[in-house]
């Protein structure tokens, strides 16, 4: 892609964890899955075919097998994929212990993802 500039600051890991969130306007429960995740954000596939407002914060419940992390996030881009919405989110003030929990869960359940990214660190 001509003129494309990579703006990601952190390595992204493909870790298919489940995620739930509430639509910020109507409080509808939405389910989905993480496509990839980093320390600063994630790409989420949500079972919802309408746009989420980009100007309102959302609460994501990231469900890793051992714990559920409630993470504040903001939508930065969206794309329709069939009857789902592919959403890029940036985390808001993610505590360091959440970052550790996410990394440890990836290491425990998707270790091959970390070892394949070894040279990117």
CB atoms under 10 Å from CB of 16, counted, come to: 13
- Range of 77's domain? 18-113
12 falls within a domain: no
85 falls within a domain: yes
Confidence at residue 95, expressed as pLDDT on a 0 to 100 scale: 95
* Average pLDDT for 2-6: 44
2 falls within a domain: no
Number of domains in the chain: 1
CATH of the domain at 60: 2.40.10.220
84 falls within a domain: yes
Calpha distance 87→1 (Å, rounded) = 21
Burial of 119 (0-12, 13-18, 19+ CB in 10 A): exposed
Confidence at residue 78, expressed as pLDDT on a 0 to 100 scale: 93
DSSP symbols for 4-21: ------S--B----EEEE
- At 7-23, the pLDDT tens digits run 557 788 898 999 999 88
Pick the more confident residue, 33 or 12. Answer: 33
pLDDT exceeds 50 at position 3: no
5 falls within a domain: no
3 falls within a domain: no
Distance of CA 80 to the CA centre of its chain: 16
pTM attached to this predicted model: 0.83
């Amino acid at each position: 892609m001509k003129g494309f500039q990579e703006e990601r600051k952190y390595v992204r890991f493909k870790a298919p964890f489940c995620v739930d969130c509430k639509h910020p306007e109507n409080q509808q429960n939405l389910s989905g899955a993480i496509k990839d995740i980093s320390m600063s954000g994630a790409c989420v596939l949500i079972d919802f075919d309408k746009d989420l407002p980009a100007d309102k914060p959302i609460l994501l419940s990231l469900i890793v097998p051992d714990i559920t992390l409630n993470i504040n996030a903001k939508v930065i881009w969206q794309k329709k994929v069939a009857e789902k919405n592919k959403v890029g989110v940036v985390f808001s003030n993610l505590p360091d212990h959440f970052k550790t929990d996410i990394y440890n869960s990836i290491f425990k359940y998707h270790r091959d993802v970390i070892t394949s990214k070894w040279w990117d660190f």
